[in-house]
Structure 1
Amino acid sequence: MGIMSFLRNRMGTILVVVIGLALFAFIAGEVVQYGKSFFSGDQTTVGEISGEKIKYDAFNARLDQNTKQYQQQFGQSLTPQLTSYVQNITWNQYLSQIIFKKEVDKIGVVVGADETRSMISGTNPDPEVARNFTNPQTGQLDRAQLNQFLNNMQNTPASDPMRAQWAEFVAGRIEAKKMEKYLAIVHNGLYVNSLEANDDYEAKNKLANFKYVTLSYASLPDNKVTVSDDDFQAYYDEHKASFKNAQELRSFQYVSFNASPSKEDTAAIKKQADKLAADFKASTNDSLFVQINAVDNANKAGLAFQRKGQLDPAIDSIMFNAPKGFVYGPYVSNGSYKVSKLVDERVGPDSVKSRHILINPATEGGLPKAQAKADSIKKVIEAGKPFADMAKMYSSDKGSAEKGGELGTFGRGAMVPAFEDAVFNGKTGDLKVITTQFGVHIIQIEDQKGSSKVVKVATVDRPLQASSQTQSVAFSKAQTFLSAATGGNFDAQAKKEGLEVKTAPDVNGLAGSLPGLDNAREVVKWVFKADNGDIADKAFTVGNQYIVPRVTEIKPEGILPLAAVKKQIEPAVRNIVKAKQLTEKLQAAANGATSIDQVGQKAGAPVVPIQNIVFANPVLPGIAQENKLIGSIFGSQPNKVSKVIEGAQGVYVYLVDGFVNPAPLTNSVREKQQIGQAILQRADNQIFDALKDKANVKDYRAKFL
């Protein structure tokens, strides 16, 4: 019993912990490096990490596990964005597992048998073990439950899959412990000395007061400067390291053809909804009517009472002020015409505390036998047998059985409708037998709290969808464009047909959605298979649009060539050229000047006084961050007119009035601690980045996902 209780109800947590190896916190946001070519690797390898190949089947199995766990834990289906998120989590799990395992093995980090036992059943067990055996009422570790589980596990046959899953969980905790030790070794090597502490203290507290004159780059019109190829090359060579592309990126342009419902489509759907409303008013079996006529499965779910605020905002206030049997609609909500009917209303509790015993028909020989067994158990409880004992003995819901069947306190909407009706419509102390899709339940209502009006509303819907004719017209327009467009006339053809050309810049190979293009995965996959300049040979369906894309740029992994970044660096290069001209002008004004005021007069620029600037925050008020200028100021002598400094926003000449030194740092302990904490906060990410660079990661996921 204990084995099933723990593993069935906590397996989601166990799997995530095993796979993540306790490193998810600092790697989940990592952008994984992309392979040099979309077609690299073989047809079964999704990636390589430190020479170890990740097979697609294994990756897909883990991805499927993570997807199911996400859906179970968060109770929602995956959007394209969430799908991409889970895919990245799965890949990062492989990264952390392989990269760190190689490191801990290399330096000989081990976790012995005694340490493993201490992690599982010692006085201070592993946090994941403690979390899984925490008493929900007390918030403390339930030592008795843990010990019972471990005793049961020892008696479980080796062939039992639950035993294998538990072994996998323990192995995951051991690997996590090894990594914890590895990181601790690195952390212990980090040290802040007194000189560093003193420098940091002065950088934050020493004040500079100065005056400056500036000629901004904006003051010189762009058409007054000529930027040469040599200027671009010089800037590129100096900053080449900053043009490293961590993963292959591609840009494309596209035209779209709207296939949204036309006015005629909308009118036709509205007419259907009007008839639906009339039929709904006449219906005498609302549940059956919904089952037959609702399109959205959420509307087909069993009807349940809901409190104010739980209904669709379009009808929430209306239904709480309407008489029973009132039909509202058609109204538009979430892309559908809907009709809603107030089926019932009452005043009921806001929350309920209850417990249950679940009988599984599949293991009892069918529903009638399960119901008969439930009736027998109910009679035994009514005769005085403790409910908790019967739950532990008979309930197939082992998660609650371990706690005597307790489900805790919950509000409306937490349970399936049949269960909810039973506990919210009864009274404290009631013992009931009901059937849901999960099986037969013996329910006991332990407490009910609060009181408010609730309503039961049935809804039928007709989605606002384009007719086949509307879709055909849009598709035909897309095909006409495709037949006329080529790589050389894409823009011209779009202009001729009155189409807006949109762009999707710097798309990575795993993107699932893009601004304005939800669920664009198929488009992205095509883009990463095509050559630069290619136009798709078909129109892609993306939502209510037909999309025709054309690849416009490919930025490979690694150092990008000058041509790929020329447009990006043009403003900076132009400012450098401007700086040369403005420096000559400002230096001429500074030559022979004995004061900053003379420089300003000769340059035709105002003198700006600045007070209380610190080195640690090199921001020039009213302008921007000027690292080079502020750095020069803190290395200067007071009362001397400076040479011209080329900054980020302009060229400067300054004069330091003086510095205000802080009180001497007599105790550097606190300063060391602050610096050390900041280093530690960055350390884990930097460690992982360094190891990942060394691991020669090759990612081929884009051709599979």
Structure 2
Amino acid sequence: MGLMTFMRTKMGYFLVGGIAVVLALFVLEPLLQHTSSLWGASRTSVGSIDGEEIKYEEFNPKVEQSVAQFKQQYGGSINPQMQAMAVDNAWQAEVANVLLTKEYTRLGLIVSGDELFDLLQGKNPSPLIKQYFSNPQTGELDRTAVITSLKAQQKDPKLKQQWDMLQAEIEKQALQQKYANLVRNSVYVTSLEANDEYINRNKLVNFKYVNLDYSAVLDKDVKITDADYQAYYDANKKRFDNPVETRSFEYVSFSIKPTATDSAGVKAQVEKLAADFKVTPNDSLFAINNSDVKVPYAYISKGKLDPAVDSVIFNYPAGSFYGPKFSGNSYKLIKVIGTRFSPDSVKASHILIDPSKVGGEANALKMADSLKAVVQKGGSFAELAKKYSVDGSKDKGGDLGTFGRNAMVAPFEEAAFGGRTGDLKVVKTQFGVHLIKIEKQIGSSKEAKLAYIEKTLAPSAKTRDIAYKKASSFLNEVKGDNFNALAQKQGYTVGVADKVVSSQGFAPGLDNPRQLIRDAYDAKKGDVLGQVYTMDNGFVVAHLTDIKPKGQLSLEDVKKQIQPMVMNAVKAKMLTEQANKALAGASSIDQVAQKLGKTATPVQNMVFANPIIPGLAQENKVVGTIFGSAVNKLSKPVDGEKGVYVFTVEGFTAPAPLGNTFKQKETMMLGVGQRSLGAAFQALQEKSDIKDNRVKFY
């Protein structure tokens, strides 16, 4: 509603909004660092960041704010994956706050008093000030509202607390911007780099090649030795630096989907419910007592119900009965109590009276009625608003502008949309007592008042019991070394969740795995987790198969993972020998192709910056070698991603000289500057000692 009211109702989320600012400035990657003594750590510590301990009682309110923002964004409810994302956002913001605050101090970055004044009410207001104090219709900043609210905080402790929080966030964002500018200004692109980039994107090459595909050698004909594994591992060690600890597990899921008997039982129940619903004298009470999903017993507009229902129910006249209709995973029964046409948007003004300032609610209602009478006798609503309203809109005569559905709290909306143009209405909300003047109503859409029942098709208790007994029996019988064998013997499918991090809220095939993941981080490799886990769609028994610690992984840790690449490396040696035999005595690529029983393939106008060989793969090493080769000279065999290649460069086409070095450098600087922020923050994280114990609590 008014700006002051907006401050009171929405400011609870602006701190979470600050998280988004940090995430926009820096490419944050989850930092998780667990040790074998994780569960021996302090029971009240969520973790520590560069020596600063993060206590649960201080961190959890930030998590709750993050969760609240997710709920607001997604309509009041979130799934376990969103819950985990909310926790992770709060943690990443905490990491950023601690590390950047230390960096600001080290660099001597501050926000002066003059700067802060300018950000709050000067010529260069903070984006947050613009967000909270701009006119929704024009987008223009209402400086009067800012100053009014700043003055009002002196008499309103709650508002002062909100302003203190807002000011702290504005200072934080200003420091973030200073640091970002400092980092951006520290990078530079030379003329040589600009010219190289231009040539890489514009120089063309024509060549012909022959390739021997790795698939031409059957895996069964390849023998991989320990030396082959070691050679590949040593040549690619940087690839095996594990940034976070991960755990992998196998699981068997025991479905609790409704059986045919369950479906028949629910259908019979719904049919009886429909018969009773048709004749009940109290539609709203009957619906409330029997529906699995609560739909308000009030007028609603099209677009709020299940699409299959929504597309037809608004064509029904009052008194109609609809259903049983099965859609999604539930049966719907609906009585159309009434229909009407209602405006799409309303232009209104209001006077807000604070009961605490006039001696209570009764006095506030009397005052509103008195003001209403004055207006009805010709008094100026705008002048009365300026004199008596406690809302920030009073300086505009109480004008709230034009708003649509769901912009106001329910009682206010019902009054504004339910009346007629020119009406004066007195309404109570959680903010106080309002005298509303409906200035104008725009548009007209049909609404329906419905008594609504929805019954979900769910498994019966018997179906759940049978599934649980199967899961319990499997858990009692299984051991770590026979998990797959026993599952296969009993006809169960084994699912795999690979490289799961401790903060994860999801796993392949599992809809609510948080407790399972937490327990996996308290288990040893090879353990069968000691309980049956309840998911939305089944019961699960799991077995921890692997633990990959943070840091440099050993050859044993990655041996299974790199097996396909080592296989190709051995094949590359075999195919290189074959290519060298074909090269012996050959003077052209066509002769090499003929010896290999192939045809040389031409490629026209390839650029270095797009190293994809048409029809094959992205071959960085091969294309890089091509651009570094002489014209009309047979190459040596080059092992790539797809196979072994031999080629001949037919010619290069150089681009025209770079005419505008400044513009090229400017374009590159933009990209380099953006990447530098993420790189700088990543460097801060890597040089910090960060311990993350969130898995104990969330």
Does the 8 Å contact 1:213/1:653 carry over to 2? yes
**Distance in 2, Cα, partners of 1:347 & 1:669:** 62
Closer, same or farther in 2 for the Cα pair 1:169/1:366, shift >3 Å? closer
Q: For structure 1, which segment, 370-379 or 79-88, has the greater mean C-alpha deviation from structure 2 after superposition?
A: 370-379
1:302 to 280, 297, 304: 297
SS at match of 2:145: helix
**Is contact 1:21–1:97 with CA below 8 Å preserved after alignment?**
no
SS at match of 1:255: strand
Candidates 643, 655, 660, aligned match of 2:648 = 655
Residue 350 of structure 1: aligned partner:
344
1:337 aligns with 2:334: no
Pair 1:114–1:418, CA change in 2 (3 A): closer
For 1:550 and 1:231, locate their aligned partners in 2 and report how far apart those are by CA, in whole Å.
31
Contact 2:133 2:146 in 1 (8 A): yes
Taking the aligned partners of 1:49 and 1:346, their CA distance within structure 2 comes to: 59
- Asked whether the 8 Å contact 2:297–2:450 carries over to 1, the reply is no
Cα deviation, residue 537, structure 1: 2.3
- Whether 1:23 and 2:22 are equivalent positions in the alignment is yes
Tell me how far apart the structure 2 counterparts of residues 161 and 456 of structure 1 sit (CA, whole Å).
39
Q: With the length of structure 2 as denominator, give the TM-score of the two structures.
A: 0.93
Judge conservation of contact 1:250–1:507 (CA < 8 Å) in 2. yes
Runs of 5+ unmatched residues, structure 1: none
Which residue number in structure 1 is paired with residue 11 of structure 2?
11
State the shift of 1:332 in Å.
2.6
The within-5 A match list for 1:415-564 is: 419-434=412-427, 441-564=434-557
Are the equivalent residues in 2 in contact too, given 1:302–1:417 (CA < 8 A)?
A: no
- 1:177 alignment counterpart: 174
Deviation at 1:406, TM superposition (A): 4.2
Cα pair 1:248 1:557 within 8 Å, conserved: yes
Q: CA–CA distance in 1 between the matches of 2:528 and 2:21?
A: 45
2:285 counterpart of 1:324 = no
Q: Secondary structure at the match of 1:340?
A: strand
Pair 1:57-2:54 in alignment = no
2:148 aligned with 1:148: yes
The structure-2 alpha-carbon separation of the partners of 1:205 and 1:263, relative to structure 1 and needing over 3 Å to count, comes to same
1:44–1:248 Cα change, 3 Å: same
Q: Which runs of 4+ in 1 moved over 6 A?
A: 360-367, 436-439
Moved more, 596-605 or 7-16: 7-16
Map of 1:251 onto structure 2: 248
**Contact 1:531–1:551 at 8 Å: present in 2 too?**
yes
Tell me how far apart the structure 2 counterparts of residues 418 and 333 of structure 1 sit (CA, whole Å).
Answer: 32
SS class of match (2:86): helix
Decide whether the 8 Å contact of 2:344 with 2:444 is kept in 1: yes
By how many angstroms is 1:362 displaced?
7.9
CA contact (8 A) 1:302 1:418 kept: no
**Letter in structure 2 aligned against 1:324:** A
One-letter code of the match for 2:200? A
Change (3 A) 1:40 1:230: farther
1:89 alignment counterpart: 89
Task: State the SS of the aligned residue for 2:626.
Answer: helix
Who is 1:199 aligned against? 196
Q: TM-score, normalised by structure 1?
A: 0.92
Distance 1:221 1:683, change over 3 A: same
SS of residue in 1 equivalent to 2:151: helix
Match of residue 665 from structure 1:
658
Deviations 1:340-393 (A, max 9, x none): 111112334333223344567788777666544443332233233433454566
d(CA) in 2 for partners of 1:399, 1:267: 59
Q: CA RMSD in A?
A: 2.7
Offset, 1:577: 0.7
- 1:323 alignment partner AA: P
Match of 2:279? 282
Map of 1:109 onto structure 2 = 109
Structure 1: distance between partners of 2:636 and 2:488 = 54
Shift, 1:605, TM fit: 2.0
What is the distance in 1 between the residues matched to 2:399 and 2:278?
A: 41
- Residues 473-503 of structure 1: per-residue CA shift (max 9 Å, x gap): 2222222212211112222322332221211
1:312, distance to aligned residue in structure 2 (A): 2.4
C-alpha change, 1:344 and 1:481, in structure 2 (3 Å) is: same
The Cα offsets for residues 545-568 of structure 1, whole Å up to 9 and x where unpaired, read as 111111111111111222221121
| In structure 2, C-alpha distance between the alignment counterparts of 1:318 and 1:664, rounded to whole Å | 66
Residues 1:35 and 2:34 aligned together: yes
SS in 1 for 2:655: coil
Tell me what 2:586 maps to.
593
From the superposition, tell whether residues 110 and 425 of structure 1 become closer, same or farther in structure 2 (CA, over 3 Å).
closer
Superposed CA offset, 1:137-173 (max 9, x none)? 32111122222233344x448xx35324423322332
SS in 1 for 2:39: coil
2:120 paired residue number? 120
Q: CA deviation at 1:105?
A: 0.8
Instruction: Evaluate the alpha carbon distance shift between residue 376 and residue 9 of structure 1 in structure 2; reply closer, same or farther with a 3 A threshold.
Output: same
Q: 2:678 aligns with which of 679, 682, 685?
A: 685
Distance 2:182 2:249 in 1: 47
Distance 1:289 1:414 in 2: 30
Contact between 2:5 and 2:431, CA under 8 Å: does it hold in 1?
Answer: no
Q: Secondary structure at the match of 2:307?
A: coil
**Residues 593 and 353 of structure 1: is their aligned pair in 2 closer, same or farther, counting only changes over 3 Å?**
same
SS state at 1:455 partner? strand
1:387 equivalenced with 2:386 (yes/no): no
SS in 1 for 2:273: helix
Shift of 1:207: 0.9
Alpha carbons of structure 1 residues 515 and 331: separation in structure 2 relative to 1, 3 Å: farther
**After superposition, what is the alpha-carbon deviation per residue over 1:100-142, rounded to whole angstroms, capped at 9, x for unaligned?**
1111111212222222222222212222223222122321111
CA contact (8 A) 2:248 2:500 kept: yes
**Corresponding residue pairs, total:** 697
1:559-583 Cα deviation digits (max 9, x unpaired): 1222221121111111111111111
**Is the alpha carbon distance of 1:214 and 1:292 closer, same or farther for their aligned partners in structure 2, counting shifts above 3 Å?**
closer
1:188 partnered with 2:185: yes
Distance 1:358 1:58 in 2: 36
Q: Could you say if the C-alpha distance between residues 360 and 342 of structure 1 is closer, same or farther in structure 2, counting changes exceeding 3 Å?
A: farther
Report if the CA contact (8 A) 2:25-2:180 is conserved: no
C-alpha distance in 1 between matches for 2:343 and 2:485: 66
Gaps of 5+ in 2: none
Instruction: Confirm or deny: 8 A CA contact 1:335 1:464 kept in the other structure.
Output: yes
Alignment partner, residue 227 of structure 2: 230
Determine if contact 2:471/2:532 at 8 Å carries over to the other structure: yes
Identical columns (%): 45
Task: Write out aligned runs for 1:557-572 (5 A).
Answer: 557-572=550-565
CA distance in 2, matches of 1:216, 1:343: 71
Q: What SS does the aligned partner of 1:110 have? A: coil
Letter in 2 for 1:552: T
Instruction: Give the deviation of 1:691 after TM superposition.
Output: 0.9
